[in-house]
Structure 1
Amino acid sequence: MRSRVRVKICCISSAEEARLAVAAGADALGFVAAMPSGPGIVSDEVIRTVVPSVPPAVSTFLLTSFSRAPDIAAHVAACATSTVQIVDHIDPAEHVAMAALMPAIRRVQVIHVQGIEALDMIPVYEAHVDAFLLDSGKPGGTMRELGGTGRTHDWDVSAEFVRRSGRPVFLAGGLNPDNAAEAIQRVKPFGLDLCSGLRTDGHLDPAKLAAFMRAVREAS
């Protein structure tokens, strides 16, 4: 019997959105701090105001674009989340340093799936992280995208990543109520993560949220 697929609702911007997501059955909430691009960015002040309202059983993820361990640790301490999501490919040595600086904080490494080479990142990070998250960003170039693109990537690569990884793997990028079941069937991830697919005019849409959670339950 396959374990239940977890759901992380990202781009939480208020206590009301957090309440809606938790009531719908979300396992984790994502808070997007300063980024070079993408939707759902909120201030650190908003994050540290909303986090205390989240029940203990629901994980809180800080999405940070910092790449050095001291900066990441300070950011997490300022926002008081239980998990940090590293949205760029960083030096694995920084994960080693983070483990020493904040041993109680779980670390999730984002891998931007631009091709089959994403699989090469498994041995680079696997020993140092608690989970992976596969997204559709483009971290290189002049216009860096570190998530929130609303695009799907090659799910065949993601499925192979899940098969090879010894860590839990979240799938992100272009998910919505209409493709949630296909994503689960094809990729078999530990969890699904999404932002724009549940929003209308920039706000978390209760109807889309309910439809997505229903699709996940039925496909799990």
Structure 2
Amino acid sequence: MRIKICGITTVRDALTAEELGADAIGVVVCSDSPRSVPVKRAKEIFAALKPTTMKVCVTDTRSESDLEVIMHVKPDAIQLHSGIGVPDKCGIRVIRAVRPGEEPVPGYNMVLVDGSCGNGTPYDSDFAIRMVRETGAPVILAGGLNPENVEDAIRTISPSAVDVSSGVEKSPGIKDPKRVAEFIRHCREAEACL
């Protein structure tokens, strides 16, 4: 079970999440999200992290020039919330976001099941279970997760990873270290029971 803390906007929040046990850090770029940061800041955040922490650029861009700029950040993965394609030989893993009722656009290494895009809307459990069974790729569960519901979500869905943003925030883009710690603790407790 991997844990991604998404919507990180500061080096401090990234290091805190990493220290508390996050396996991956998501930074939103080239987006109109309140959590979006300039590409330069994404580079700074990723540079501060350990090599073992997965660095994920999250975007909803449809622009190939934006995608080129993002690839220069050299993340471990790009999480796409649009149908834009990534060159096969770029060496960066692709996480395709899908909403209930959609099918993943071809060309992905992982699938993120998300109905909320950071606004806290709960995931659709039937859809998530279907994606786990049918995609043939690791599935990341997102959408409305928080410390209070993540254990049940993990036990019900059995995803490869979970992703949280608004569920551990004080305000958009500002993480609450206590909620991050609680979220990670509940994930590890659920994982121990699988």
Tell me, yes or no, whether TM beats 0.5: yes
Match of 2:94 in 1: 107
TM-score by length of 1: 0.81
2:20 matched residue in structure 1? 24
2:162 maps to 1:183: no
Mapping of residues 104-183 of structure 1, within 5 Å? 104-113=91-100, 117-118=101-102, 121-122=103-104, 124-125=105-106, 128-137=107-116, 147-183=117-153
- Secondary structure of the residue aligned to 1:48 is helix
In the TM superposition, residue 135 of structure 1 has moved relative to its aligned partner by 0.8
Tell me the distance in 1 between the aligned counterparts of 2:65 and 2:158.
34
Q: Determine which of 169, 172, 180 is the counterpart of 1:199.
A: 169
- Asked whether the equivalents of residues 156 and 186 of structure 1 are also in contact (C-alpha less than 8 Å), the reply is no
Q: Which runs of 4+ in 1 moved over 3 A?
A: 68-71
In the TM superposition, residue 211 of structure 1 has moved relative to its aligned partner by: 0.8
- Please give the TM-score of this superposition, normalised by the length of structure 2: 0.91
Any stretches of 5+ residues in structure 2 without a counterpart?
Answer: none
1-side partners of 2:139 and 2:24: how far apart? 14
Deviations 1:2-57 (A, max 9, x none): xxx11000011111111101101111000011323x44221112111111111111
Please give the secondary structure, in 1, of the residue aligned with 2:47. helix
Q: Which has the higher helix share?
A: 1
Change (3 A) 1:185 1:54: same
Deviation at 1:165, TM superposition (A): 1.6
Secondary structure at 1:12's aligned position in 2?
Answer: coil
Tell me the residue number matched to 2:4.
8
Deviation at 1:215, TM superposition (A): 0.5
| Count of paired positions | 190
Matched letter for residue 150 of structure 1: G
Q: Which residue of 2 is the match for residue 80 of structure 1?
A: 74
Shift of 1:73: 3.0
Which of structures 1 and 2 has the bigger CA Rg?
A: 1
* Residues 39 and 148 in structure 1, CA contact (< 8 A), matched pair in contact too: no
Query: Unaligned stretches of 5+ in structure 1?
Result: 138-146
Q: Distance in 2 between matches of 1:74 and 1:40?
A: 18
Are 2:47 and 1:52 equivalent residues in the alignment? yes
Q: Give the root-mean-square deviation of aligned CA atoms.
A: 1.6
Q: Which residue of the partner structure matches residue 30 of structure 2?
A: 34
- Corresponding residue SS for 2:3: strand
Q: Indicate the percent of aligned positions where both proteins have the same amino acid.
A: 29
Distance 1:12 1:71 in 2: 19
The Cα shift of 1:66 comes to 2.4
Superimposed CA distance per residue, residues 81-103 of structure 1 (whole angstroms, 9 cap, x where no aligned partner): 22111112x16xx24xx113x1x
Deviation of 1:71 after TM superposition, in Å, equals 4.0
